[in-house]
Amino acid sequence: MNTHIKLVAFSKEQPARLLSLYLKEQGIRVEYCKLDNDYAHGVMLADPADLDKAKLYAEEFVLDPSNKKYQTAAWHAGESVTLDQDPSFSTDSILLSLIRSPFAASVLVVCIVIYCLAMIGISAPYAWLQIEPLSELVANGQWWRLLGPALIHFSAMHIAFNLLWWWILGKQLENTFGSSYLILLFTMSALISNVAQLMVNGPSFGGLSGVVYALVGCVWWLGWLKPSWGISLPKPMVGFLLVWLLVGYLDILPVHMANIAHTAGLICGCLFAWVLVLRASRRSDN
């Protein structure tokens, strides 16, 4: 089993079993395995050459696990695997997910609260977090403003897009490496992306997107540099986000995008992933 790669893991046995049977029917060699963590039911891939194809099947399964084709595959294998009602949107599951990812959940809640307060006319948090020119920060010592823009948003679409990606990718990293690594990546990428944007285009900006692009870069490169860790982004999603980054520079959208922050964040995330893999390799060599 040591040579196997973790493809995906679930909190319950049934979906892991069902996906395993379907992948076997597609000619992909996998095994169900009991793991020693919260997501204790894993689907382990035997041949790394099948990784890209298996990921696509796994992503399709997660989006629609009740599809009849999965039950059909189980019947063909002579097994009966019945899924419980999808736990993804149950109250208990949501609360458990928030508890397991405390920092990702905290940033999510803070951003929502600040945005909702602004919507009802309470703009004090915006004024307190808005970044200022470096000369003013040197004079007043309000250095928290270098991180502040990551927590403020200006429209429903803006905050929805950022928080969706923050939760999906941040939760994945926090569950894998722990809260301290996510806090470090958040702090580093927010600081660097905000200062870069400030230096090039001035202080009129906000949003978590610099940090989001850091998460994108980190997860993307981890999937490339260390696929055995089971952390990755589907190539179409990476392509979409990179194209979206380029579209921002073309200045053809009705909204102004913090392009410098996006680019600086992406670079931070890629470097962060590289450092994680390098440290892991050095530890394994010792």
262 is known as an active-site residue: yes
Is residue 4 a contact partner of residue 46, using CB atoms and an 8 Å limit? yes
Class (C level, CATH) for 5-89 = alpha beta
- Tell me, what's the pLDDT at 92? 47
- Tell me, what's the pLDDT at 89? 43
- Tell me, what's the pLDDT at 95? 63
- Tell me, what's the pLDDT at 61? 83
Is residue 51 a contact partner of residue 5, using CB atoms and an 8 Å limit? yes
pTM for the predicted model, two decimal places? 0.69
Distance CA 129, CA 25 (A): 54
- Residue range 120-153, pLDDT digits in tens: 999 899 999 999 999 999 999 999 999 999 999 9
- Residue range 92-109, pLDDT digits in tens: 456 666 777 899 999 999
- Give the domain ranges of the chain: 5-89, 91-285
Distance CA 250, CA 179 (A): 36
- Tell me, what's the pLDDT at 84? 57
Q: Which of 90, 262, 281, 284 is catalytic?
A: 262
CB proximity list for 154: less than 8 A, separation 6 or greater: 206, 207
- Tell me, what's the pLDDT at 283? 72
Q: Which of 20, 101, 193, 209 is catalytic?
A: 209
**Which CATH architecture group holds 91-285?**
Up-down Bundle (1.20)
- Tell me, what's the pLDDT at 94? 60
Q: 10-residue block means of pLDDT along the chain (286 residues)?
A: 73 86 91 76 86 85 78 77 53 62 94 95 92 94 95 92 92 88 97 95 91 95 83 82 83 73 95 92 70
Distance CA 130, CA 35 (A): 45
Distance CA 20, CA 44 (A): 8
DSSP H or E run through 30: strand 30-34
Q: What is the 3-state secondary structure (H, E, C) of 165-221?
A: HHHHHHHHHHHHHCHHHHHHHHHHHHHHHHHHHHHHHCCCCCCCHHHHHHHHHHHHH
90 is known as an active-site residue: no
- Tell me, what's the pLDDT at 86? 47
**5-89 and 91-285 have identical folds:** no
